[in-house]
Structures are given as C-alpha cells and as structure tokens.
Structure 1
Amino acid sequence: MSKLVIESFRGFRSLELRSPGHIVLSGVPRAGRSDVIAALARVLLPESSRTGLAMSDLWQTTVAVVASGGAGPGEREEGGDSRPLTGTPPSSPVESRPFADVEVTLTDLDSELEQLFEGVLERCDLDGCAVTEDQALPAAAWCVRLAYRLMYDDEADVLEHLVYYPLVSNPAAGKYTRVPASIRRALPVVMLNAGRPLQLRAGSPLRRVIDELDPAAAAGAFDVLRARVTAAAEELAGHEAVAQAVGVALASGGVGASLSEATILTGQVGFRADDGSAEALLRSLQPTVNLDTAGPLALTSHGSTVTSMLGVAEAIMLATVPGAVILADDFGDQLDTANAEHLAARLRAGAGQVWLSTRRPEVARAFEPEELVRLTRHGGVRAWHRLKRPADRAGIRAMRQFHTQLLPALTSPTVAITEGPHDLVVYGTVDRQRLPAAAPLSAAGVRLVAAGTGQDGGIGEIPVVADLARSLGFRVIALIDRDKAEEQTIKQIEASCDVVVRLPPRTAIDGALLAGTNLAQVRAASATLTTFLSKDPADGVPDDRLVGAVTRSLHKKSLHGPFLEALIDETKTPPPMIVDVLNHVAAAASPSYSGPVVIDVPAMPQPGTAGRRDV
C-alpha cells in the first residue's frame, strides 16, 4: 500500500499518507489510530462489509448559531471529532457529511494479481502513486486503486457502502464499477484481530492456513468430524437415561399428544450442533492448551498474554505469504513488554508490509523512527506527524534522543523537557507526591523527559530534543535553570518550545530544591545521606557554607532523590518552588493556555538568608 487517502471518514476530514514500507501508528487518545486501520479494512477485507454501519462513520459537522462574531447564524463551524457529543445544545446541532471516501493504492503486484486487475491497472511514479500514461516514465510499474464509499440516503434514512475502482467509476454521476469480493479475498491481506486465536471457523487465520495447505484433506477431516459428532449425538439421544428423561418431559401435561396426532416416541427426539452444519460445530469448538503441569485447559484460562501471543503467531504464520500485508489495531495491548517488542519485530521482518496501531512504546521501538506516524488532536482537529531520515550529523545526534526520551511519551500530548537527569528526578519525585493536594502532571497530559541522560545532557540539548518533539506534534515546555545559562542558549530554547518555565536568576535545581526551608531541616535531611556516603555532607560545616556544601554533594553524587524524600519528611510538604514550577507546567499544557511564552518563577528565601530574595 503506497498511498492512503481518507476523506470525511469518522474523525478525519482529510488525511493522506504515503509509504512504500511499514507504518506504525501511535499518538494521543482520540486522534484516529483505530480509524485508520478501520478505513483500510473497509477497502481491503470483504468481511468488513458485514460489520454494522453507523452514522458516526461519517465525519461530523457542527452547525453553530453565533450571536455576534465568528460564524454567522446558521453557518457551519467544522470540527474533527469522530462522533457527535452527547448533550449537544439545540443551538449547535451535529450533522454528518453525506458520504465518506477511503482510497488505497496497491503496488508491487505479482503476475496473478495483475491479471485479476486487468483493465483497471494504472502506471505509477517512483513514489507508488498513480499517474496517467503520458506522465509515466518508460517501463513504469503498474498499480491499482481501490476505493470505499459510505453514503447516507437522507430520504430513505439508510447507510450504504461499496468498494469500487476509481479509474472506471464516476461517483459524481452515481456510477460505480464494484470490486468483487472474490478479488479482495485474493489479496494477501491479513487482519490481526484481538479476538480468540486458533479458531477452526471459516475465515479465521488458522482455517485459512489449513485450507491452503491441503484443501481436499481439510475438507475430509471436517467431514469425518461432522459424521462422528452426528453419530455420537444420535447415540446420546438413544441412551436409556436420556431417552427416559425425554419421555417424561413429553408426557408431562400431555404435551406430546398436543404436538402431534401421532404418539411421539422418545426416539423421535434427537440432538445436533446448532443448525446441523459442520461450520456451526466448528464455531463452538474452542482450543485447549497444555502448559506446565496444569493439563489441557481452555486457552482463556491461561491469561490474556498467552492468548495474544498465539494470536500474533497466527499472523506471523500468514505473513510468510510473499508480499503479505498485515493490519493490526492496538497491537501489544495484552502483551508484556518484551514480547510486545519481540513479536512486533517478527511481524515487521516477516511481512511484506505492516500497518499497525499501538499505544505501547515497545512496539514502536521495533520499527525505524521514520516508519512512525504520530497522530495528534488539537482543538478537535486531527493531524499527523512523521520524522524524516537524518541527512547530517546534527540529525543523527538528535535522533539519539528519540528512543530514550520521546518514545515513552508517544501517547502524551505534551512533553516537559528538563535539563538533565538530576532535574528530572527532582521534578518527578515532587510530582508523584502531589496527591491528594493536587493532581500530577499526567492528569494534564504531560510527560517529564530529560535533555539527555548523562554527559550528553544539559541546557544546550533542550533545543535538540524540543525540535524533535515538535516535529512529532508534541506541545513542548522547557524547564530551565538560570544559574549560568547564556542568553543565546535561552533564545534558542524559546524558539524551539511552546512555553519556557525559568527558575529565578542564579538558581539551579539544587537551590530550587532548598528554597523555603531552614538550616535545621537541611541538616536533618543531609544526615540521612550517610546511608550512601561515608560522611554527612553537612557534618562540621558552618551555617554560612551549609547550602553550598550540601548542593555540591547532591550534584556530584547524584543523591537528589533520597535527599528530597528526607527533606519532605522533615518539612511535611514538597519544596514550594518546585511545586510552583509544576503548577506553571500544568497550566501551560492546557490547549486553552494564553499566558506568556516565558514564565519566570519568583524567587524564595534560601536557608540562612534571613529573608533575602537575591540568592
């Protein structure tokens, strides 16, 4: 699939993705990960036609009546949500677009598929997009476009949908050349469902493999099963205990006589699976698995991880078909961390192409950074973002931050970037202890990250991480010290971030940690560090040098975490300046934030300064 175009489908007003390779979809909630996979299924999988259609499959348009300013009375204000909101006021009704379209371009067709699509093939350019014959390069490859249209008939109040060839159709005139279901079934496309694996029913992945390996032998095996089950059911009906019970039931209240003029004999009552067909029986059969010493237990008894792993194994099995395309929604949700990454990597290596959505950073880790498409949602409008392959050393240096810093934050709308690991520990520790007085930053959709994790950290790395984050659609907030930062660096940070929160002048994270405390509390917290040090950093240090001695030790030995916990035990409250910073971050993360781009945190007294604010 080299190109996907979505128009007015669910929450997408318009979306166009081009990719000759793998795609992993991630991003914030309600941004459309599942909608993209559903759109592909509607085009490529015949069984998707059996799913119930809903008005929410059509992109919604809000008609708002505005008293003054904005849209005029009766004019439309378009929003991108995929479903109408409940409780919408009468003055703002939600209407649906009359139709939705999804178009997929398929390339790298083998000879058999080219024969199936004879008459609807088109030449394609180097990017795999269809072009006219006069625009095509010599010996250009063939491609085919398949399109799905969902229509709402206002008069009949019904939804209709179909899959057609755009090349030989005229939707404006209502003329469509439909794609037969048999041709869609011939496509090597596999949908990895979250349902139960190892099913024998028709259409299941396991059944597809059984039928493909040896259709005649498979049919014979199922016929034998049907015959034996039918014979066993007849034997059961004729068993003395069962026959006697049936006879009692028929004789009760003269039911047997009232049902038929003839005397109903016990032998006239039999049993069979559902409608008597082999498929009805196969639908009722569920797999058992013998693991450890527990014996053969139903697959569901082994937990969600085992079930999910076997489901992925089925997809890997089908992915061995040359050029197979794998579709999967919410991949890895039921898997542990290691298997989520491992099985995603196996899928990527074995399939011709993978399109999957996920909430798990471990799954995205199995793909190249440029294969990630991050979906976002701002003010009800959806957007997508994608990284480019690094073209220089600066890009390679920036990409190092992708896996370590940004990948764990994929589903968060906002990242707050600290200068390094020490700052991250302090802000993160205080943030975890804010409940119940205040909600943590995660409640505002914020993920704390560091600009590097060691020697590559520092305030100068913040623009690098920030630029990478903004290219992926994150809202970016920087948390910086003002102890020795150069104005040029600060200007670069301001240009790369949406909001910058700055500590007071000449204040580093260590000073912010101690602001608002007294010397006795600092000494008590420092005394607990003997668990990690041979000597208390405050031992024998005069009051006028205490703050410097403690902060130097914290920075050099990386003991901010245990010191902070001890200090909170002494003060019974988190450091007020750190709390002030977190409050600013939570406010700036709001989509409705309209405050200053640079927020200066006010100074607070340091221990032993007797209320002086210039620290």
Structure 2
Amino acid sequence: MRVTRVLIDGFRGWGHLDVRPGSHVLVAGVPRAGRTDLITALARVLDPDAARGAALSDLHQRPVIPDGAGSAPAEAGDDMTEGQAEAVVEAPAAHIVDTDDAAEADASGDNGTAPQAPSAVLQRVEAAQVEVTLTDFDPDVQQLLDGVLEPLEDSGCASEDPDASADAPLCARLAYRLSYDEEAETLESVVYFPARSNPALGQYSRVPAATRRMLPVVTLDAGQPLQLRAGAGLRRILDDRDAKAGAAAFDALAQAVAEAVSALSADPAVAEAVNAVLAVGGTGERIGDAPLTAERVGFRTEDGSVAALLRTLRAALHLDAGGMLGLAQHGSTVSAVLSMAEAMLLATVPGAVVLADDFGDQLDAPATEHLAALLRARSGQVWLSTRRPEAARAFEPTEVIRLVRHGGVRSHHQLTRIMDRKALVAMRQWHTQLLAALTAPTVAITEGPHDVAVLSMVDRRKPPSFLPLSAHGVRLVASGTGGEGGIGQIPRVANLARQLGFRVLAVIDRDKDSDQTSDELAKIQDACDAVVRLPPGAIERAMGDGLSLQSLADASATLTEYGIPDPMAGQLTEAAVTNLCKVLHKQSLHEQFLEALYAEPNASPPPVISVALAKVQLAADPSYSGPQLLDVPALSRPVGA
C-alpha cells in the first residue's frame, strides 16, 4: 500500500498543503517548516491511536488584516508582504486575538527601517482537515474498502470523472476532521470516507477503528530498548513470537527469585541483623499478634509480582574489555541503534506504509543512513522526517520533500525528474554540496572549493562580537569539485537549489569585461536572489588586498614548510604578490597562507574577504531589497607599505 496524495487544510501551521509523492518520502527542511506536522497529519488519518493527542492548537490560526487598519481586509499569507507577515505576533489561545501592541515607529522609513505593517489579528479556522489517498492494496485490504473505492488519476488524485476508464487503478480516500465546539468547549474529531460523506451537511461515513487497524500502517516509536516490562518493545516482540514460552520464562524467573530471596532471608548474617532491629525496646513483641523474629521476616519486590521485578530490570551489554556494563554506560548511540532495531522489527508488516518523525536524531551518521536504507527497502512506502542529511542519502533526490518557511509562510519543494544532460551534471552537487545544507534556509554558491575554504576560514575566525554566517542560516557550497567547478556551473547548481526552496546567493570573482563574462553574470543573476562580486582578480588576490606588502611577504615565507620556494622571496613588490597568487592557486595553499597571516602579531582578517562576508550576511536576510549585484570594492595597500 502507498499514499499518493496528502491534502491538508488548516492543520497546525499548515494553512494549505498538497503533496503528491511518487514513491518513498524523506521530509526535511528548515526549523518550524512543518516536518512533524506533516507526519502527525498522516498519523491522525491512518493510526486509530493518534487522535488521542488532539489539541486546540491543532487548528491553524491565520493572520488577518482587519477593516480600518490601513487596507482592505485580507488574509496574511502568500499575498501578504514578508514584513507584514513577520509583524504578526501569536498570542495566547482565543478565537480572535488582537496583537496591535507594537510600539509606534517612523512610518516614513527614513530611519533605515521599513514602514510599520498594518495591524493584524489571528483567526482560528473552523476546522482542520487532512485527506489521504491510498492505493496499491493487497486483496484483503481492497475487500475491506469495497464500496469506497474510486478510480485513481495519474496525478495521484481520486478521479471525479463518471466515465473514468474501467482499467484505472483503484484508490480510497480517508479524511480526518477536527473542530472546536465553543459552547461545549470540546474538540470533536471524525475520520470518514469522503466518497460517501457530505461534510457541509454534517453527514459522515465514519471509518471504523477496526478498519484502520487492518490497514498496513506502522508508526515507528523508538523508546528505551531491551525492556521486558509489559508494553515495552522487546516484550511485544517476545509475545508476538511465542507468548506461552515467554510466560513460562517469567514463571521460572519468579520461582528462582522466590527461592533466592528465601535463602537470603535465612542467611545467618541477615537473620542476626533483623533480630537486632526487632530486639530494640521489645519491638518484635509489640508490633504483631505473636512475637516477631527473623524467621517470620522475608523480602519481595514492591508488590510481590513478576511485573514489578521486570520494571526494575535494565539491559547490560558486554561489548568490549570493559565487561558487562549497563546500557546507559555504553553511550547514547548504542541505545539509539538498539531502540531503532526494536522499532523496525515491530514494523515488519509486508507492504506497509511506515511513518517516523525525527528519524536519526540520536544515531551516528553511518547508522542513520543504513537504517533509513533498510526501512526504504522493506516498506511499501516510507515517510521519514529528519534533520539528518545522512538519512537523505538513502533516498533518491526526487523522493526528498523539502519544507521551508519564508516570511512566516510555509511551502514545500520537490525535485522533478531531470532529463537534460547538462542539468544532470548539476544534480551531482545534491550529494556532494547541497545535502549538507539540507536544513539551512540559504546557500551561498562559490566558483569552487578554494573559495569555500577561504571564506569559511575567515568566517570562523571572526571575533565573538561578530556572528558567523551560520547564525544567519547561510551554508557555503562550491559550484563543483575539480574540473567540474567554475563560474559556468553556478547557474545550474543555483537552479537546483531554487527547486529545493533555498534562498540562493552567489559569490563570484570579477573577471575582465567581455561578452562572455557579461553573459555569465546575467545567467547567474537570473538564477540567484543576490550576487556578491569580489574585486578584480581571483580569490587569491582578494585575500591580500588591503594588507601591507610586508605582512604578505612574512606569510609567504612560511610556505617553504610545504616543500616549495618562497613565492615572494622577500620582495615587497606587486609583481611578487602576483606570483604569490599564482602559487597559492596552483598548490592549493589558501588555508595555510591564511593561517600564517593570522599568526602575525596584531593580525587582522583580510579586509576584502571580511567585507564580502558582510555582504553575504546582508543579502541572506529574506527581507533584503537592495541591489541584486553587490560589488566588493578593491582596497589599496596601507600608506608606506
């Protein structure tokens, strides 16, 4: 079985979402973009136990600009400016909440700030609705759904055409509706078949819980592993495999414990200690109907049951020379791997739809990729949400749904199948470059790995008073590695990133003016939200601009440690600097040269690179509305240098 469509209206942070996966799904994206909400929405429809978590906050609240606030009434969403959307402040739960409590600001914007957005309120939707379309049923499930089956279109939607082909595959739609009765102050939910219902008239053909339990749907819920207490994963596995043998094992444990405790109670040392306590002030004579002695004192678990004993048992493992140690002492990764293995064993339902939220959070990178690949291979369809790029490595690029949030508005993005040969070259950057930026809102694409190395090193050497690019949600990536990089690859990688919902910046060199460079710049600007352009010359020249010749010569002299002659040879001339730039490029010694510059007394970061980083930071802000091309000016050498 698999899901062909998920349609959400008014559920949690989703005003509207229409996802139509082709096969497996890996849900990723920036924080607060709705990963968990999407998995939860699926569970509310397909898992009969998931509705227990319903809350008033599940009803989406739309920011609305009311009458008399400087504009006509309008919902604050895709048609609202980013500044207006960000101005909406969520308040405690109420049907309509007035949030017009902002301080007065200069409406002219002359002070460098944007004009104050119109006042807005939050209005809760009347009902949250989640509809899921299912297909590829096995015969038993198809018979269970007889009477609500509909033809399936190629788009993944149920067909409304009465003349649909009789050969069309069949599908079934299940929907979840959550509403709030203000008079009764209660939440009301219903799961129904849309094909036989009319929500507008309050008529619902409800889906029995037994029917939903018959659907091959598994929700992975990893917890503390290797627990034998009732309800724990290992106990469920034991009961599913051979409940009678498991009960016999627990009876044997109870008998063995009883015998061991009896022997412990009768031990002379224990009996002597107990009698000593009972002898104090004649205690043993007074607290019972007959004199109490050690022979009449025993020991047991808290309620005398095997269940109480099992609740106290914790797994211990012998993994190395440290011997048998408690599971917690082996570290969080071991526990997480075993926990996920338990959950996956419980999820071995043939052809099942498997749901998992925050997959891989406690796993190491190889285990995350391996277990994600295992789930994908064994499931009819898997829906994983994750923050880990390693999980995405187990999926095809077209199976990744990336969620983003711009100006307070959520959206989803998915790559389409690429047939163009040149675009396929850019697709290689998914695993090598863009995957590492999976949860970052912005990528800044450079011409190659040397540029990334230089910009990254200067960025991480910023003093504490300056925030790095990561604090602004920016991930630096190269347009290629080796011979596949260069300025010509930037538009292809940028277009790929745009399809995935990134805000896309470029950091490029400023080559000599020509028809070719003008054409390349135009293509980059078309593909990017903003472009930061270095001064004339490559990244090697930008590293040294604004620094004294002596500083450059001192740093150049340290490069002999890498088995090459000193590029400047102590010469304080611009020609020597040009030779230094050529050697740095050819030998890939950019970071080593920067390290030498930073090692000098009273060293300061390369000023041109620092300015370039500041411009990247400026353009990364989604509200940035300045020039699309941001040129970094060249800096002259200090006087007397």
TM-score normalised by L of structure 2: 0.84
Once the two structures are TM-superposed, the CA of residue 219 in structure 1 deviates from its matched residue by 5.5
Once the two structures are TM-superposed, the CA of residue 190 in structure 1 deviates from its matched residue by 2.2
Corresponding residue number in structure 1 for 2:80: none
Task: Show the 5 A alignment for 1:176-215.
Answer: 176-200=204-228, 204-215=232-243
Match of 1:579 among 603, 607, 610: 610
Task: Show the 5 A alignment for 1:470-485.
Answer: 470-484=498-512
CA distance in structure 1 between the aligned counterparts of 2:75 and 2:526, rounded to whole angstroms = 35
CA contact (8 A) 1:587 1:593 kept: yes
Once the two structures are TM-superposed, the CA of residue 285 in structure 1 deviates from its matched residue by 4.7
CA contact (8 A) 1:409 1:447 kept: yes
CA distance in structure 1 between the aligned counterparts of 2:246 and 2:571, rounded to whole angstroms = 85
Identity rate, percent: 52
Indicate whether 1:40 and 2:42 are aligned: yes
Match of 1:537 among 567, 590, 600: 567
Once the two structures are TM-superposed, the CA of residue 281 in structure 1 deviates from its matched residue by 6.5
Indicate whether 1:554 and 2:556 are aligned: no
Once the two structures are TM-superposed, the CA of residue 308 in structure 1 deviates from its matched residue by 1.2
Once the two structures are TM-superposed, the CA of residue 600 in structure 1 deviates from its matched residue by 1.4
Deviations 1:228-279 (A, max 9, x none): 7799999999999799899999x99x9989xxxx9999989997666x8877
Corresponding residue number in structure 2 for 1:112: 140
Task: Show the 5 A alignment for 1:562-573.
Answer: 562-570=592-600, 572-573=603-604
Task: Show the 5 A alignment for 1:500-511.
Answer: 500-504=531-535, 506-511=536-541
Corresponding residue number in structure 1 for 2:621: 590
Corresponding residue number in structure 2 for 1:24: 26
CA contact (8 A) 1:59 1:80 kept: no
Corresponding residue number in structure 1 for 2:15: 13
Match of 2:634 among 596, 599, 603: 603
> Which region of structure 1 is more displaced relative to structure 2, 461-470 or 2-11?
2-11
Corresponding residue number in structure 1 for 2:369: 341
Match of 1:50 among 49, 52, 55: 52
Corresponding residue number in structure 1 for 2:109: none
Unaligned runs of 5+ in 2: 78-84, 101-119
> Which region of structure 1 is more displaced relative to structure 2, 234-243 or 84-93?
234-243
Structure-2 change in CA distance of 1:273 and 1:347 (3 Å): farther
Structure-2 change in CA distance of 1:332 and 1:551 (3 Å): same
Corresponding residue number in structure 2 for 1:77: 76
Corresponding residue number in structure 2 for 1:391: 419
CA contact (8 A) 1:237 1:243 kept: no
CA distance in structure 2 between the aligned counterparts of 1:120 and 1:238, rounded to whole angstroms = 69
CA distance in structure 2 between the aligned counterparts of 1:451 and 1:104, rounded to whole angstroms = 39
CA contact (8 A) 1:318 1:324 kept: no
Deviations 1:573-602 (A, max 9, x none): 111111111111101111221111111122
> Which region of structure 1 is more displaced relative to structure 2, 292-301 or 41-50?
292-301
CA contact (8 A) 1:230 1:272 kept: no
CA distance in structure 2 between the aligned counterparts of 1:205 and 1:38, rounded to whole angstroms = 21
Once the two structures are TM-superposed, the CA of residue 436 in structure 1 deviates from its matched residue by 1.6
Deviations 1:508-563 (A, max 9, x none): 21221111111111110100101113311111656241111111111111111111
Indicate whether 1:144 and 2:172 are aligned: yes
CA distance in structure 2 between the aligned counterparts of 1:56 and 1:77, rounded to whole angstroms = 19
Q: Secondary structure at the match of 2:484?
A: coil
Once the two structures are TM-superposed, the CA of residue 185 in structure 1 deviates from its matched residue by 2.6
CA contact (8 A) 2:128 2:178 kept: yes
| One-letter code aligned to 1:527 | A
> Which region of structure 1 is more displaced relative to structure 2, 408-417 or 224-233?
224-233
Indicate whether 1:456 and 2:484 are aligned: yes
Once the two structures are TM-superposed, the CA of residue 476 in structure 1 deviates from its matched residue by 0.6
Unaligned runs of 5+ in 1: none
CA distance in structure 1 between the aligned counterparts of 2:618 and 2:56, rounded to whole angstroms = 36
CA distance in structure 2 between the aligned counterparts of 1:16 and 1:269, rounded to whole angstroms = 65
Structure-2 change in CA distance of 1:83 and 1:100 (3 Å): farther
Corresponding residue number in structure 2 for 1:59: 60
Task: Show the 5 A alignment for 1:360-399.
Answer: 360-399=388-427
CA distance in structure 1 between the aligned counterparts of 2:292 and 2:16, rounded to whole angstroms = 67
CA contact (8 A) 2:265 2:297 kept: no
Deviations 1:449-470 (A, max 9, x none): 1111211111111101111111
CA contact (8 A) 2:530 2:628 kept: yes
| One-letter code aligned to 1:7 | D
CA distance in structure 2 between the aligned counterparts of 1:211 and 1:190, rounded to whole angstroms = 18
Once the two structures are TM-superposed, the CA of residue 288 in structure 1 deviates from its matched residue by 3.3
TM-score normalised by L of structure 1: 0.87
> Which region of structure 1 is more displaced relative to structure 2, 346-355 or 216-225?
216-225
Corresponding residue number in structure 1 for 2:193: 165
CA distance in structure 1 between the aligned counterparts of 2:87 and 2:210, rounded to whole angstroms = 35
| One-letter code aligned to 1:439 | L
CA distance in structure 2 between the aligned counterparts of 1:49 and 1:60, rounded to whole angstroms = 20
| One-letter code aligned to 2:542 | A
CA contact (8 A) 2:553 2:572 kept: no
Q: Secondary structure at the match of 1:534?
A: coil
CA distance in structure 2 between the aligned counterparts of 1:493 and 1:557, rounded to whole angstroms = 28
Corresponding residue number in structure 1 for 2:385: 357
Structure-2 change in CA distance of 1:255 and 1:527 (3 Å): farther
> Which region of structure 1 is more displaced relative to structure 2, 161-170 or 462-471?
161-170
> Which region of structure 1 is more displaced relative to structure 2, 42-51 or 544-553?
42-51
CA contact (8 A) 2:62 2:125 kept: yes
Structure-2 change in CA distance of 1:542 and 1:432 (3 Å): closer
CA distance in structure 2 between the aligned counterparts of 1:50 and 1:277, rounded to whole angstroms = 30
Once the two structures are TM-superposed, the CA of residue 54 in structure 1 deviates from its matched residue by 2.4
Aligned residues: 600
Q: Secondary structure at the match of 1:289?
A: strand
Q: Secondary structure at the match of 1:489?
A: helix
Once the two structures are TM-superposed, the CA of residue 342 in structure 1 deviates from its matched residue by 1.6
CA contact (8 A) 1:11 1:83 kept: no
Q: What is the aligned-residue RMSD (CA, Å)?
A: 3.6
CA distance in structure 2 between the aligned counterparts of 1:325 and 1:199, rounded to whole angstroms = 26
Structure-2 change in CA distance of 1:502 and 1:246 (3 Å): same
CA distance in structure 2 between the aligned counterparts of 1:493 and 1:572, rounded to whole angstroms = 35
| One-letter code aligned to 2:43 | A
Task: Show the 5 A alignment for 1:68-467.
Answer: 68-72=69-73, 77=76, 84-85=90-91, 90-91=99-100, 92-132=120-160, 134-200=162-228, 204-218=232-246, 285-467=313-495
CA contact (8 A) 1:81 1:381 kept: no
CA distance in structure 2 between the aligned counterparts of 1:211 and 1:139, rounded to whole angstroms = 43
CA distance in structure 2 between the aligned counterparts of 1:63 and 1:244, rounded to whole angstroms = 77
Structure-2 change in CA distance of 1:118 and 1:372 (3 Å): same
Once the two structures are TM-superposed, the CA of residue 319 in structure 1 deviates from its matched residue by 4.5
> Which region of structure 1 is more displaced relative to structure 2, 169-178 or 495-504?
169-178
Q: Secondary structure at the match of 1:516?
A: coil
Deviations 1:139-166 (A, max 9, x none): 3333222222222111122223232222
Once the two structures are TM-superposed, the CA of residue 199 in structure 1 deviates from its matched residue by 3.7
CA contact (8 A) 1:10 1:57 kept: yes
CA distance in structure 2 between the aligned counterparts of 1:90 and 1:360, rounded to whole angstroms = 36
> Which region of structure 1 is more displaced relative to structure 2, 401-410 or 317-326?
317-326
